[in-house]
Structures are given as C-alpha cells and as structure tokens.
C-alpha cells in the first residue's frame, strides 16, 4: 500500500469550505480526462458507461478552526469548525493557513500556578508576536483558517494521524479509481463540508439524482457500548445505522454476499454521527455507509488498522465489478 500517498493526503490542510488544496492534489494524482467541480467544490469523476449508476463518496474536509478576530496583543481568536472536543484543545501546536503560506502557532493552556488567580483558558492562537500590526504584516487575516499540526505514524499494524477522517476514504477512492474495470457506471465524489452538516452531499444530491445507489466511505467511531463487537483488524464495516440514517437492508445484504464471495472480512455495526450517503434517501435513492473502525475519532491521534483499509479497498473494487 502507498503509505506515502495516504500520508500526503492526511497532511494537507483543509477544513470545511476550504478543501481546495485537497481537491487539487486529487486531480493532480488521478489526471482524469473528464471531471467536474461544482459551485461549492465537490469533485466528481466517472468511470464506466453501463449497468447501475453507483456513487461512492468520501469527504475532503477536516475539523479545524477559523480566525474570527485578531487581538491587539497579536493573539488570533479562533472558532471551532466541526466537532472538536474541548478536552483536546489545550497545549496544541497548530498551523495557520492563508493563500500563500502556513504559519506555526500554539493553543496554550493555563498553568497550574495560576489556577488560584482565576485564570481561564481562551481559544486563541499564539503565533509568537506581540501586536495586531505584526500579525497583519505576516499576511494573516480574518477568514484564514488553522488545523492541528499533524504527525503521520505507523504503529505496529496501525496508522495514526489527525485527518484520517476522512482522508483514508479519499485515498481508498483514489486507489479503486486507478485499478478497476467496472461493470457498472461508477461515480467517484470527493465531497466538501461534511463536518458541518453534510452540506456538500446535500448539494450533490440535487445534481446527481439518477443514481441507483449511494455509498459513503467514512469513519466508524469504535470501542463504545453500542458496538463492542466491532474490532479494529477484523475488516471494514457496514455502518448500518447512525444518527443520520439507516443503510439499505437489501443493498447491505448484497454487499455482505460480495464480501463473502471474495473472502473479504466484513463487520456490521451501529455508531453515532452521520454520513454523506444518508442525504440521498431524501431524493429516493438508497444508500449504504462503508467504514473502517477508527480509534480516538476527532482527536489528534486517530488510528486505523492497516488491514482494514486494505480490505476496504478490496471491497469497494469488488462492488464496482459486480453486476447489481
């Protein structure tokens, strides 16, 4: 497996509404003859001309921050974009991104020495300056964004990195696109603004309304009471129910059979959150959510099992080559 490419995708900054760097990287990598980018930034590439129309989606955006104001002392006031737990905010190195460069900063913390002085934590970025004037001179402005600084690590059989959600899905679709001879008409979509309410998929559902099946490739938050049977390393997952919808029973059965026929391990589980696929139900299109188990989801150390990713790619490829 091309870990270098997965690492490259994970390390690209791109919060919701600012996915352009990720999208450009995918286009450069795949060099498609034909593709389209809609008005909000969803990227769609088609492969195959006959059979059922099947849409595969993975979202390009990650959780992060917007710069909403600049204090007179040079601190950047940040606003969370997406579901970032408060407990992971303090003592983090971040990267502030504008059109031209990336600037390192920190989100600090309140030292224990000052607890009795009623010092409170404030969600600001310290970029090592002491005035608003210096910030402006560095080229940082309101509407720029920031992400946690990322470290890509292979730990025994696992990969750990911030933004594996959902860059592993983006990577999986790249791998399948480059290595299939589909028996169906396959549309690959890399979507935007998933982390703030599945907004990219909502737009896409208005454009791609003649789809027979929508399949979302996204994370599965494992290791909770409702999915204790799900284990990293035991195969990809049909995310059959979450807070946004319920996967098609009939198509889920077909995918289970495809996995069995191809000796691909497959798990079935329930979790929270939502996926892009559920949006298509409102348009009368069935969906299935496919996932891998992610430990520590929406943290700076998300982890997935290497074999799960390999088997997910095998499963997606097998689905594209199956006559539905």
Average of per-residue pLDDT values in the chain: 95
Which string of DSSP letters, residue by residue, matches 127-166?
-S-SSHHHHHHTT--TT-EEEE----EEETTEEE-TTHHH
Q: Is 28 part of a structural domain of the chain?
A: yes
Domain that residue 101 falls in: 64-148
Mean pLDDT of 40-69: 96
Which string of DSSP letters, residue by residue, matches 53-119?
EEEEEEE--B-EEEEEEE-TTSPEEEEEES---GGG-TTEEEEEE-SS-EEEEEE----GGGGGGT-
Nearest to 212 by CA among 51, 96, 58: 51
303 and 253 within one domain = yes
Q: Is the preceding omega at residue 166 within 30 degrees of 0, hence cis?
A: yes
Point out the domain boundary residue: 148, 177, 207.
148
Per residue in 153-208, pLDDT (tens digit) is 999 999 999 999 999 999 999 999 999 989 899 999 999 999 999 999 999 999 99
Query: Residue 224: pLDDT band by 50, 70, 90 thresholds?
Result: confident
270 and 184 within one domain = yes
Per residue in 118-130, pLDDT (tens digit) is 778 899 999 999 9
68 and 18 within one domain = no
295 and 211 within one domain = yes
Respond yes or no: is residue 194 known to be catalytic.
Answer: yes
Residue 226 has pLDDT above 90, yes or no: no
Per residue in 17-31, pLDDT (tens digit) is 999 999 999 999 999
pTM value?
Answer: 0.95
| Candidate list 175, 194, 195, 302, residue with the active-site label | 194
pLDDT at 115: 66
């Amino acid at each position: 497996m091309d870990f270098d490419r997965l690492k490259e995708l994970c390390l690209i900054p791109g919060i919701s509404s600012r996915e352009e760097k990720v999208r450009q990287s995918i286009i450069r990598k795949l060099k498609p003859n034909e593709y389209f980018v809609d008005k909000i930034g969803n990227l769609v590439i088609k492969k195959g001309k006959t059979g059922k129309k099947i849409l595969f989606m993975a979202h390009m955006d990650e959780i992060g921050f917007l710069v909403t104001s600049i204090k007179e002392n040079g601190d950047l006031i940040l606003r969370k974009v997406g579901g970032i737990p408060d407990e992971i905010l303090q003592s983090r190195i971040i990267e502030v991104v504008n059109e031209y460069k990336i600037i390192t900063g920190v989100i600090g913390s309140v030292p224990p020495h000052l607890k009795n002085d009623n010092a409170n934590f404030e969600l600001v970025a310290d970029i090592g300056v002491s005035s608003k004037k210096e910030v402006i001179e560095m080229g940082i402005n309101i509407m720029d964004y920031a992400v946690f600084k990322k470290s890509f690590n292979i730990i025994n059989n696992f990969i750990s990195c911030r933004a594996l959600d959902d860059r592993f899905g983006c990577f999986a679709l790249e791998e399948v696109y480059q290595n299939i001879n589909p028996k169906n008409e396959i549309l690959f979509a890399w979507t935007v603004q998933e982390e703030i309410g599945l907004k990219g998929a909502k737009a896409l559902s208005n454009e791609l309304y003649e789809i027979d099946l929508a399949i979302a490739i996204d994370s599965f938050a494992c290791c909770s009471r409702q999915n204790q049977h799900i284990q990293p390393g035991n195969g990809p997952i049909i995310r059959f129910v979450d807070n946004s919808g319920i996967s098609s029973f009939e198509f889920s059965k077909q995918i289970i059979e495809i996995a069995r026929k191809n000796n691909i391990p497959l798990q079935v589980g329930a979790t929270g959150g939502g996926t892009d696929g559920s949006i298509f139900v409102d348009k009368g299109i069935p969906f299935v959510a496919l996932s891998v188990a992610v430990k520590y989801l929406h943290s700076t150390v998300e982890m997935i099992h290497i074999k799960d990713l390999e088997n997910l790619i095998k499963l997606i490829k097998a689905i594209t080559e199956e006559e539905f």
